Amino acid sequence: MKIEPQNKKCLIEYKHYNYQENTGYRVVEAVIWRSGEFLATIAETEDELDELGLSAEDFEGFDGYLESIPTPDSDHVDLSDFGVYEFLKTYDEISSEINVYGSDDKVAKEIKEKLSGINLSVLINDEVLEFDSSAYSIVNGFTAIECDESGDLL
């Protein structure tokens, strides 16, 4: 199933970095995209769920898994809520914001000010930041389109 935000500017990518100069601090860049596409794999049987590397026990049974799948009218969906998804593409970065998390709020604020206005990819190359992971969220609903495993419409 191909998943797309129902509205423009409703796709958020959270990029997680480890800050190398002060260990124990994480930098999260929230990027708002005009739109994007993802391919979500929905299991139709418990065997398919196992093949996806998921366990029905984690959902309190296969019916629990089916009930946990987001619906298109959901106000907020983390793509990981689908269990297994593949990033296809994003369109037009609109804006981004940096937040810093760690044990000392004053130090986190100083790090945030230091990073403000700097292209984070430069800091990765300079080994100031180490990329950890990305996660995506859609707000204000999504469109689900039936497709094959490569994302082509049926």
Bridge partners, residue 37, by sequence: 89
Annotate 81-93 with b (16+ C-beta within 10 A) or e (fewer).
Answer: ebbbbeeeebeee
pTM value is 0.86
Per-residue confidence (pLDDT) for residue 113, from 0 to 100 = 92
Structure tokens belonging to residue 117: 């206005």
pLDDT of residue 133: 94
Report, as ranges of residue numbers, the positions in the chain whose pLDDT lies below 70: none
Alpha helix (H) ranges present in 72-128?
Answer: 105-115, 120-125
For the chain, count helices (H), then strands (E).
Answer: 4, 7
